[in-house]
């Protein structure tokens, strides 16, 4: 196994490296992440649908994403979780 060591400038996108992270944004993310990890820890014996509905979806909602669980579109199969923000959506 080989590892290539990259410096920060090569690893991070220059836009994000230069953008300051606001303390309140970091605090919100940290709180959401801690709650997500607690939910995962307390739900280890649950199935995937339960984890999506009770851990992943609330985590993303706290980060200002809109989520829809078990979404079915006409003529398409059901998806576990639909995530959208600012009129753009991504289906998982």
Q: Residue 70: phi, psi to the nearest 5?
A: 55, 55
The count of other CB atoms within 10 Å of the CB of residue 67 is 19
pLDDT single digits (tens) 4-54: 877 767 766 666 667 777 889 889 999 999 999 999 999 989 998 888 899
What pLDDT sits at residue 15?
Answer: 63
Tell me the CA end-to-end span of the chain in Å, nearest whole number. Answer: 31
- Domain boundaries, given as residue ranges, for the chain: 12-91
Compute, in degrees rounded to 10, the torsion defined by CA atoms 84, 27, 44, 60.
-10
Q: DSSP letter at 47?
A: -
pLDDT single digits (tens) 79-92: 788 788 876 555 55
């Amino acid at each position: 196994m080989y590892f290539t060591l990259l410096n920060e400038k090569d690893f991070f996108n220059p836009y994000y490296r230069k953008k300051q992270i606001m303390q309140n944004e970091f605090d919100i993310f940290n709180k959401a992440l801690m709650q997500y990890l607690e939910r995962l820890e307390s739900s280890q014996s649950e199935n995937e649908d339960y984890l999506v509905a009770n851990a992943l979806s609330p985590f993303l909602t706290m980060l200002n994403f809109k989520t829809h669980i078990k979404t079915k579109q006409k003529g398409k199969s059901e998806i576990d979780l639909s995530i959208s923000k600012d009129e753009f959506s991504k289906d998982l």
